[in-house]
Amino acid sequence: MNVVSADNICKRVKERPLFKNVSLGITEGEKIGFIGTNGSGKSTFLNIIAGTVTPDEGKISRRNGTNISILEQTPFIEDNTTLKEFLFLDKNPGIVLAKEYYQFLETYTHTPHEEKLLGLLQSRMDKANAWDIETTYFSLLKEFKLPRADTEMKSLSGGMRKKASLARALAPRPNLLLLDEPTNHLDIDVIEWLEKYLREEIPGFIMITHDRYFLDRVCTHIMEIDREGIFKYEGNYSTFLKRKEERLTIRKNEQLKIETVLRRELEWLKRGPRARTGKDKKRKKNIENLMKARVEEDGESNDFSSSNRRLGKKILELKNVSLSLGGKRILLPFSYSFKKGERIGLIGPNGSGKSSFLNITASRIPPDSGEIDQGINTEIGYYDQLSSPLKGNETPLEFIEKTAERIKLSDGSDVSASGFLELFGIPVSIQRNCISTLSGGEKRRLYLISILAGNPNFLLMDEPTNDLDIETMKKLEDYITGFQGTALIVSHDRAFLDRTCDYLFIFRGDGSINGFFGDYSLYRQISKDETSGKKEQPASFSREKTKDKPANKEKSLSFKEKKEFETLMEEIEILEEKKKILEKSFTDPDLSHLEIAEKGKEYDEISN
């Protein structure tokens, strides 16, 4: 039975249709991943289902008794609000009722009239199952390790605020939960907790997310906005990719048939009236219908591309840098010399110092002690979480032109700022609109483009996947894997880390940082396997150092040969350990098709 039904829904933004003639049903128990390009209308459709946005045409029907709760992409939060007060600012009917009940109790004086009102309120609380909302909320705050309920929201980090918003959305125990980018700003441990909670505790949901592992492990259906329509597929993300490919193949074949017939009919139309024989009106009408049926293929945006400045021998070196904030030790004395081609992922819980580490590396904040020695040819491009340089009253074109009016590409050619925007999916039609009119994902893409336009050779990226659509993320992955410079990446997206990083800095939360050779999935597998040898090492150690020396040498080796041999032996040991872990992981029943394919590819690369 449908809990929500959409009948011919249409929504426009400034006369541009986001989607039209959408008719579909959301069945009880469906767990839906909702995907589509940035700016296509995913958040708008979610809000239409929630009832906070009205469609221009069509009708939304909700089954009586349906308890809907929504986690917005960017919830409005007043700084002076406490964690407890934050719960009762939500518009979920159960939360609104609980707030009314508790406010009534504050002034309750036991008069006959008030006793009658109290009875009515209690009856409504029973019917709405609202008694446990506050208790559940406080329990989730504790689960997420958030501070006391009287703590003001302004003192919380972005990740803590996201956890509070998530706790509020889960507290009414909805039978239809709407989630808009729920993994943004969360650490990986909480994301994995949320995966389990959604599988086991939530009857049904619609979730906008770019997290491909999440889509694979939790969702029973995928919904996609494409060409102003919304399509629904049964199965997880891996299954969706196969079915979408089938749908696109069928559509391509249909278009080929239409083009063949249309070409023949247009040749007939070009003949003079005398050369054409009867049924002119009917045949012209048929040509008109064929023209309408023809689908213009979307112009795909190019892969991300920019020229890179040449790196010198010295790139950047951290020498015993340390940091404390608010009396808390964020970073113990730490040293590391970055090298060309390194792609290092930074992982750890919220508040463990990852963003602060990037800020120190970029010289945005000074360390308490130590030194940052940056090479003269090193050009840093810092893609932070806040997109702070974006101003709502500027246009995308004005914003990019502040970086450069002409941008050099990796093939040596150069393009205008407008051309550069168009290459990367910001069409001319919106380049002169105010940035404030763009979607969250479009703003993040614009900010990313501006960083690449500066032609950096040392990339610092703080949660680069937040709000980006999956296609843009794939292009960014390809860019980073082919990047000739050095990259430091903070990310909660496990698939993104697996595809871009081959070394990890692990932030422990006590100021210490450990290093790990390998991708995130390998690290996670070893962490879970108590019998595996610990492969972490202090990250300040050189990545070329080893503990063992070669034995039984038949002839003396030079110092350089010794070092090369030691390094080779350690690399072989690490690869053998990787093979063992990968072989063991293939038996994991929770592994998705997407992950199996990735691990199979990695296993083949190691074996060869």
**Sequence ranges of the domains in the chain:** 1-66+175-256, 79-170, 316-543, 550-608
The residue type of 569 is: M
Does residue 299 have a pLDDT over 50? no
Instruction: Specify which residues 205 forms β-bridges with.
Output: 31, 177
What is the C-alpha separation between 228 and 242, in angstroms, rounded?
A: 21
Under CATH, to which class is 1-66+175-256 assigned?
alpha beta
Please say whether the dihedral angle defined by the alpha carbons of residues 514, 520, 524 and 529, taken in this order, is positive or negative: negative
Predicted pLDDT of residue 561: 54
Strand order in 343-347's β-sheet? Answer: 380-383, 458-462, 486-490, 343-347, 503-507, 513-517, 537-538
Q: What is the DSSP string of 63-102?
A: -TT--EEEE-SS----TT-BHHHHHTT---HHHHHHHHHH
- For the chain, give the mean pLDDT: 84
pLDDT digit string, tens, across residues 439-483 = 888 888 899 988 988 889 999 999 999 888 888 888 889 889 888
Tell me which of 95-109, 343-357, 564-578 is least confident. Answer: 564-578
pLDDT of residue 588: 62
pLDDT digits (tens, 9 = 90+) for 5-54: 999 999 998 778 899 999 999 999 999 999 998 889 999 999 999 999 99
Model confidence over 491-510: pLDDT tens digits?
A: 999 999 999 998 999 999 89
User: Which phi and psi (to 5°) does residue 386 adopt?
Assistant: -90, -10
The reply to whether domains 1-66+175-256 and 316-543 share a CATH topology is: yes
For domain 316-543, give the fold: Rossmann fold (3.40.50)
Tell me what pLDDT residue 600 has.
65
Of the ranges 230-234, 292-296, 365-369, which one carries the lowest mean pLDDT score?
Answer: 292-296
- pLDDT mean over 578-597: 63
